[in-house]
Structure 1
Amino acid sequence: MNTTKQKIIIVLKSLAVFLLLIAIGFYVFRDYLLQQAIEKTSTKIEQQYNSNLTVKNAGFEGFSGISLTEISLTPKDADTLFRIQKMKTSINFWNLLLGDVQLGTLEIQNGRVQLVKKGNVKNFAAFLKKDNSESSSDNKRDYATFAYRIISKVLNLVPTDMSVENLKFKLDDNGKKATIDIKKLTLSNKELETSIDVQTNTFAQRWEISGFADPRNKKADIRIFNKDTGPIKVPYFDERYGLKSSFDSIRLNVENIEKSSGKLHIDGFTSFTNFSVNHPKIANKDVVIKNARFDYHFLLGADFISIDSSSTAQFNQVKFRPYLSYSTETDTIYKLKVTIPKMKAQEFISSLPDGLFTNFQGMQAEGTFDYTLDFKFNQNQPDQLVFDSHLKKENLKITKYGQANLTKLNGEFVYRAIINNVLQRPILVGTSNPNYTPTEQISPYLRKSVLTTEDPSFFSHHGFINEAFKQSIIKNIKTKKFARGASTISMQLVKNAFLTREKTLSRKLEEILLVYILENNRIVSKERMLEVYFNIIEWGPNVYGIGEASRFYFQKSPSELTFNECLFLARIIPSPRKFMYQFNDQGKLRDFAAKQESFLTNIMIKRGLLTTDDTIYKSQPLLISGAAKSYLRIKEQDSIPVDSLSTSKEFEF
């Protein structure tokens, strides 16, 4: 036993001597090693990024402190990326021996970091290039391991004690500018304090960032405020994307970053107050969420990235559980699940963001509901897309309507379309209008044709067709654009009667909610909905309703329309102002239009909506005889009579 103990003591002494020799060697040759490291880094940056890294003076202070002056990084033929006048830092020597660079302290004085884009030239472009050495087509990336390694390296470069004075971050995107000027930033005893001046072409503000930051234990709790009056404005995005956004305060919290059993867990929350956003694609006014919080639980494995279902999100009084995942284990699969637990309908309505649901302001409701959404998309099997949406209600009832009073559809009302923010002429929807046409006075062919082209299951669905939504999503994903919609007649009616035609998120969300209320509360019968639809939709330039349309095109009353004429009117509903492009210069239907008609006719025959007797008019040409004829580009025929004598062979020589 004594012999073993003596051997252990000898080994420990030898190891201590070895480490001491390394420390002494490092101390003796440290300035030389530092210069070699700088030269090696400069050479690598020049070769890989075509940029020059220069350091005027570099040396050690104490055992592990490093002092650098006049540091700059300048891409060739581009603006300087950064320049720092003076920087001091300390490195954990023992971690360095293990190959792990970990900063202890950091002091920076008078620095500037700038991202500049002039035309298509970016001074940071070279550093965005993918390093081929880090990727291999033969090896799949382990998401958990990769993310944890990157996070650890970044946090190790965040010092435990930091003092920064006059460090500016500048962005210049072809004249769109933003400057974040850190006047003073300190991190001491895990407490962060900073004062920042923000300057753009459109505003100037002073921000304060404070809170708790512990980079070694991977924890943080930080708040951002505006030192002046008013909300914090988000820079750059307003000029670059037309997106204006602001908030009164925001809190960012990281409670845990841990890797165990091959999985990476990232837990925390973020919250903000009075978040405001304005963009033409979102709404035509500011959208405001008074309070919001997201308690997140990110989970990463070897072949998946997800927001765990234990995460919760809340805006105002609405709470829901989101689940989002991206998996590459077998195929590339995207999943989304949303669950809204049982809640009061009135709390939901009161929580709708201001500016996003204008037509719901003042609405009151009774009862409760809960909601679930299940979405799954396999990139390699797109046609097997899953889209299930379910809302379960209990005693749900609208007791007071807001700006959009759906009950008006049951009586006479004035309809005015809004096109490109311009209010069109008023149309009286009711028998007092001589052009108004009750359903029984409309050719039955129009009903069959419109239902076939726009909404075959109108009388059986409750406002939405899940399968149509699925096919629309599949088509849009395949084409990588919004190539197909899924509007039912109910949705078109609500859009026309209560909303505008603007293509915004606000209008679409309002349309969905209003249609659900209309279809699921027995407010208006299906027959009445279809009758109003026929009498308000646009059927041509400044032509509204079937009464005006039948005369505009054919100088007939709606009851006199033939099958051909009804099918034509049904086909132009999506683009009524472009009806003239259906015809050639001889006033006849173009080939593509004729093929559409044949296709739709065959569908109607297969569905038992038509007989061969109904299609007798297919052998007759479609003749536009009303005022619409003036929109057709018909080539004029030669009206000069031909002299028969001049062409007679009797006078040939």
Structure 2
Amino acid sequence: MSKFTEFFARNKKKLLIGVGVFFSLLLIAVTAFLLNRERILKYAVAKVIQKVEAKYPATLKIGNAKFLDLNTVLVTDIALLPNDQPKLLQLDTVAATVSFRSLFLGRMVFKQFDVANGKITAFKQDSTDNFSFLYRKKATGETADSTAKKSNYGTLLNRLIETAFENVPDGVNFRNLGVVFKNDGRTIDMNLPTMLLEDGNIDARMTITTETVTNTMFVRGVIDPAKYLLSAKFYGDNQSGSIEVPYIQQKFGATMRFDTLSLSITDKVYKNDQLTIRGESSAHGLILNHPKIADENVTVQNGALKYVLTLGDHYYALEPESEVRINKAIFYPQMTYETRPNRKIGIKVDSPDIPANDLFGSLPPGLFDTFQGIKATGTFKYRMNFYVDMAQVDSLKFDSDLDAHNFQITDFGQNDLRKLNTEFTHTVYEKGKVVRTFPVGPSNPNFTPFNQIPDYLKYSILTAEDPRFFTHKGFHEGAFRHSLITNIKEGSFVRGGSTVSMQLVKNAFLTRKKTITRKVEEALIVWIIENLRLTSKQRMYEVYLNIIEWGPNVYGIKEAARFYFSKQPHELNLEESLFLASIVPKPKQYRTYFDAYGGLRAYPRYFFKLITGNMLKRGLISSSEHASVSPYVNLSGRAGSFIIPKPDTTHVQMMDTLELAPIDLLDF
């Protein structure tokens, strides 16, 4: 017989009594727990109400709470009513699983929630709303410091993020939840038939309706409140297809839709009253349409943004670690925006070495159509720097540089950028419609070769528009910088800063529609033509003078010479050349240049003086020619019959609007 058996035999009676006592105590404890759990539940409910109402200026109402089984509580008729504002939240039922450990400790910790038939109704009208109290501290006396922090969106956003993450339960199952947001007359209505959050995984189906758009979509994602991690992917169902972004049409006149959209917050740091958020977003099958961006749909198959965003007191920044990817092309953007004491804007863009084929292949359809199908070798690297203090606009900084290594085009694709070298057909567009089509070359009787165009005209236009045309490679940063300064001061687009190369490309290769991307496309075409020397400078200038507009349905120098002066181009004198140069920026407004007596107004007279002065300094005309310039031209051609005499209301201050190459006065 073993020692254990002997021990049990000797102490059997005592052991049986001990076991009986243990189970009796356990039974008493369970009985006491069952008898008192309702009391504990009522106490827990009261504590929740007390805590909520102590933290927020609101009333929390709970209709009834009871146990359904050993550890499941059913709470019904829950409402959250902000003070003096409409009801924010109404829930019919919430079934929650209670932690056993918390019950035995005399309190209740809920682990899982099943929420059915609820509605959140948020509204904002002007400066009044019924929800901002959730992320604003309860007023306990305003101080100068706390008042100042109201303008710190980093502080406000940090408080909102922390409030949201702190209240994420371990698990929740929403069924038939509605969310309505009314903002200054606009309504967003969201319905969630199902939304499951379990072990940090999010699985939901929702329908979002605005005044003009209804989207049905699925949401998949993960959330980790301890790490401030949130990642979600949105995509449409098989029936609805792509998802359209609401309110873009009403606010910006644009449409945007996508097949799949991913958003994430991967980290946040709040320090020294500044919030820094890291995250990523990406879109697949993104389609954007806006008349200022492009004249047709822009499609990006794969786009992504890795962002590091900082918000502070009147300070916002997209940090240097950020990255933008458009298909295979990668860029590193950096932006800063300060609103006090003065508005300051800074933008920087850099890129790694991008294979040429990756760059051209990444250009979205609908944008940069000139480069569709182009093939090339080598790599590109881009850098841009812009900074302006709005209190010191004249100190604006701007530089842009596109470097290439071993770059060569092996296939020009749909559009041959070498077409300027031979006769080609030119089409004139106005407001998106074709106005005229004509050949540019010897087969056109109106074509004027370079050597038959008078030097007076060549020099006048270059002095006014682009004095360094024959020496630069298509761009003049000084001119562009000055145009930015002028446009910022005027608060509108009054000056372009385009070189002759850019004006030529705009006319010869692109439509006349003024879109953001057309300007970028124009710059890239110029860069390729100039840097690969696809066309000589002389030929470029020759084509330019033969296709630019010079008045109503007047294109090219020969038509202009006949229309204004009934002459051939080589017969034009200095004053006539100066006049033609002066109307290049706005050719249809030539009639406003003359007063009631047929004399030139102050604007063109100042132009004559300025341009001839610069031409003299450069040795393009003699002192005697400069001294003999007359502030008078005789419109002996058909143009003269369209002049409508009006009283002269112009004055010398009109010089401020003169559209000249701005660095002319600094070149001599």
Residue from 228, 247, 265 that aligns with 1:236: 247
The residue that corresponds to 2:324 in the other structure is 313
**CA-to-partner distance for each residue in 1:489-536, whole Å, 9 max, x for gaps?**
000000000101111122112101101001111111111111110000
Instruction: Look up the equivalent residue of 1:292 and give its one-letter code.
Output: G
Is 1:388 matched up with 2:399? yes
Question: CA offset at residue 430 of structure 1?
Answer: 1.1
Secondary structure at 2:522 match in 1: helix
The 1:147/1:233 distance shift into structure 2, 3 A limit, reads closer
Paired with 2:364 and 2:84, the residues of 1 have a C-alpha distance of 46
- Cα 1:87–1:278 change in 2 (3 A) is farther
Partner of 1:462: 473
Taking the TM superposition and a 5 Å limit, the aligned residue runs for 1:143-182 are 148-170=158-180, 179-182=189-192
Give how far 1:316 is off. Answer: 1.3
What's the CA shift string for 1:36-58, capped at 9, x where partnerless?
Answer: 975996xx6xxxxxxxx887766
1:419 corresponds in structure 2 to 430
Task: Among all aligned residue pairs of Structure 1 and Structure 2, give the percentage whose two residues are the same amino acid.
Answer: 34
Query: Using a 3 Å threshold, how does the CA distance of structure 1 residues 366 and 541 change in structure 2: closer, same or farther?
Result: same
Please state how far the C-alpha of 1:583 moved relative to its aligned partner: 2.0
CA-CA distance at 1:596 after TM superposition? 3.2
Q: Give the Cα separation in 1 of the matches to 2:153 and 2:61.
A: 40
- Displacement of 1:303 after TM fit? 9.2
Aligned residue in 2 for 1:217: 227
Task: From 528, 535, 538, give the equivalent of 2:539.
Answer: 528
Q: 1:519 aligns with which of 530, 534, 545?
A: 530
Do the aligned residues in 2 keep the contact of 1:86 with 1:108 (CA within 8 Å)? yes
Corresponding residue for residue 4 of structure 2: none
- Shift in Å at residue 421 of structure 1? 1.3
Tell me which amino acid in the other structure corresponds to 1:604: M
Alignment of 1:533-552 (within 5 A): 533-552=544-563
Equivalent position of 2:101 in the other structure: none
The Cα offsets for residues 64-89 of structure 1, whole Å up to 9 and x where unpaired, read as 9986545567999xxx7856354759
Matching residue within 472, 486, 490 for 2:483: 472
Q: Is the 8 A contact 2:42 2:65 kept in 1?
A: no
Inter-partner Cα distance in structure 1 for 2:604 and 2:381: 46
Equivalent pairs counted in the alignment come to 588
Per-residue deviation, residues 207-245 of structure 1 (Å, max 9, x unmatched): 001121123431122111111242222223234433111
Q: Counterpart in 2 of 1:113?
A: 121
Query: Do residues 84 (structure 1) and 90 (structure 2) align?
Result: yes
**1:61/1:627 Cα in 2 relative to 1: closer, same or farther (>3 Å)?**
farther
* Contact 1:312–1:322 under 8 Å retained in 2: yes
What are the residue-to-residue correspondences of 1:346-425 with 2, within 5 Å? 346-425=357-436
CA contact (8 A) 1:325 1:335 kept: yes
Report the CA distance between 1:588 and its aligned residue.
2.5
Secondary structure of 1:500's counterpart equals coil
Worse-superposed segment, 28-37 or 610-619: 28-37
The one-letter code of the counterpart of 2:633 is L
What is the distance in 2 between the residues matched to 1:262 and 1:75? Answer: 31
CA distance 1:479–1:203, change in 2 (3 Å): same
The residue number in structure 2 matching 1:639 is: none
Q: Is 1:178–1:236's contact at 8 Å kept on the other side of the alignment? A: no
> How does the TM-score come out when normalised to structure 1?
0.78
Instruction: Give the TM-score, by structure 2 length.
Output: 0.76
**Deviation of the 1:477 alpha carbon:** 3.7
Note the residue ranges of structure 2 that are not aligned, 5 or more in a row. Answer: 1-38, 99-108, 648-668
One-letter identity of the residue aligned with 2:121: V
Match of 2:453 in 1: 442
- Partner residue in 2 for 1:11: none
Aligned amino acid, residue 457 of structure 1: R
Where does residue 205 of structure 2 map in the other structure?
195
CA distance in 2, matches of 1:58, 1:623: 93
- Whole-Å Cα distance in 1 between the matches of residues 589 and 226 of structure 2? 65
Q: 1:258 to 1:105 in 2, by over 3 A?
A: farther
Q: Which residue of 1 aligns with 2:576?
A: 565
Deviations 1:384-404 (A, max 9, x none): 333232333222111221333
Root-mean-square deviation (Å): 4.2
Where 1:417 maps in the other structure, the secondary structure is: strand
State the Cα distance separating 1:195 from its structure 2 match. 1.0
Aligned to 2:237: 227
Deviation digits for residues 560-583 of structure 1 (CA, Å, limit 9, x no counterpart):
112221111111111111211222
Measure the CA separation in 1 of the matches of 2:242 and 2:288. Answer: 12
1:484 pairs with one of 486, 489, 495:
495
Output the CA distance in 2 between the equivalents of 1:143 and 1:391: 36
Shift of 1:261: 8.9
Q: 1:60 to 1:425 in 2, by over 3 A?
A: same
Given the alignment, which residue of 272, 279, 296 partners 1:268? 279
Matched-pair contact (CA < 8 Å) for 1:34–1:59: no
Measure how far apart 1:445 and its partner are. 1.2
**How far apart are the structure 2 equivalents of 1:343 and 1:33?**
58
Q: Counterparts of 2:260 and 2:49 in 1: how far apart (Å)?
A: 43
Is the partner of 2:352 in helix, strand or coil? strand
Distance 1:518-1:86 versus aligned 2 partners, 3 A rule: same
Which piece of structure 1 moves more, 546-555 or 154-163?
Answer: 154-163
Q: For 1:163-211, what per-residue CA distance to the aligned partner results, in whole angstroms no more than 9, with x for missing partners?
A: 4333444567899765432222222221111111234565544200112
For the residues of structure 2 that align with 1:265 and 1:576, how far apart are their CA atoms? 52
3-state DSSP of counterpart to 2:227: coil
Quote the offset at 1:537 in angstroms: 0.2
> Does residue 614 of the first structure (1) align with residue 622 of the second (2)?
no
Match of 2:638? 627
Instruction: Please give the per-residue CA displacement for 1:278-306, whole angstroms capped at 9, x wherever unaligned.
Output: 11111111111111222333456889654
Shift of 1:423: 0.5
Residue 558 of structure 2 aligns with an amino acid whose one-letter code is G
Matching residue within 278, 282, 287 for 2:298 = 287
Bigger CA drift: 289-298 or 57-66? 57-66
Work out the CA distance in 1 between the residues paired with 2:273 and 2:184.
Answer: 45
Partner of 1:424, secondary structure, is strand
Please, which runs of 5 or more residues in structure 1 have no aligned partner?
1-23, 45-52, 93-101, 637-653
Kindly name which structure, 1 or 2, has the bigger radius of gyration based on alpha carbons. 2
- Contact between 2:595 and 2:646, CA under 8 Å: does it hold in 1? no
- Paired letter, 2:594: F
Q: Distance in 2 between matches of 1:144 and 1:604?
A: 56
For residue 412 of structure 1, what is the amino acid of its counterpart?
Answer: E
AA aligned to 1:222 is A
How far apart, CA to CA, are the structure 1 residues paired with 2:144 and 2:254?
35
CA contact (8 A) 1:375 1:388 kept: yes
* Contact kept? 2:80, 2:87, Cα under 8 Å: no
Letter matched to residue 206 of structure 2: I
Residue 613 of structure 1 aligns to a residue whose secondary structure is helix
